[in-house]
Chains A and B, each alone.
Chain A
């Protein structure tokens, strides 16, 4: 995303947050966007943000489905009369390469109940995931790979 587009989208977000679409407010947003970009310019990388809108929708649909399914699973565990869980931390080798992809994957893993990304290895290849109930580590890895990693890769890498 070029810097101008970034500045514009930040000011549009500002407009939506303020709920006041007057031109003066827009310029306030634009100035704020420029200040933000100035301070964060070191961390900003030019990279392709996403491939196709369809892939992003695919990711969002998959993510929402994982979110709902997993929320209900955790709900069952929490409200069951006896808590019978096998928690643990598993290593997950990720195929995501770009910082954006890894960040999104780690964030979606955390947002999906039952899994929580604890750390990412120094070389950014392995995500350590705390899992609430592990029946078999490979089964957990499989679910994450199919449900989250592939959509993230398809949409943002």
Chain B
């Protein structure tokens, strides 16, 4: 009986892995592909690990597969998060069909604030050496 359940779990897992690969081909940009790559994979691995636990049926294998699953669920989002963050910061390359982007304005504001801070610091350091620099704010 548990063999059938295990077989079903492997099939479900493999199917989700397959869908993840198809999504890599069909989606338009890195971010949408990440959806497939980080998640369907997690789900697929979940199915396969559950199947492993069931098929072997011994407590130590079950414990190991469940732990592998827990660590997979803890670490997969971190890499996904870092990849998409790095991708956006090195050039957004969003697909043209993208509808909303709240992140771009935030990044620009952050950059502007950092530049302003750096400018203030350098101005404070060499206040006497910038004679032609109007301190009354940027020209409009």
Interface residues of A (CB under 8 A from B): 13, 16-17, 19-20, 67, 71, 74-75, 78-79, 83, 85-91, 106-114, 116-119, 121-122, 126, 128, 130, 132, 134, 137
Contacts and interface: CB of A to CB of B under 8 A. Distances in A.
A74 B63 contact: no
A113 B27 CA distance: 14
A108 B67 CA distance: 18
A6 B23 CA distance: 40
Contact of B81 (A13, A19, A110): A110
A13 B38 CA distance: 25
Interface of B: 16, 19, 22-23, 26-29, 31-32, 34-36, 38-40, 42-43, 60-61, 63-64, 67, 73-74, 76-78, 80-81, 84-85, 88, 94-95, 97-104, 106, 110
A19 B80 contact: no
A79 B81 contact: no
A79 B26 CA distance: 9
Given A87-B97, A137-B100, A110 B77 contact: yes
A87 B31 contact: yes
* Interface SS of A by simple majority: mixed
Given A110-B81, A130-B31, A74 B23 contact: yes
Contact of A116 (B84, B94, B102): B84
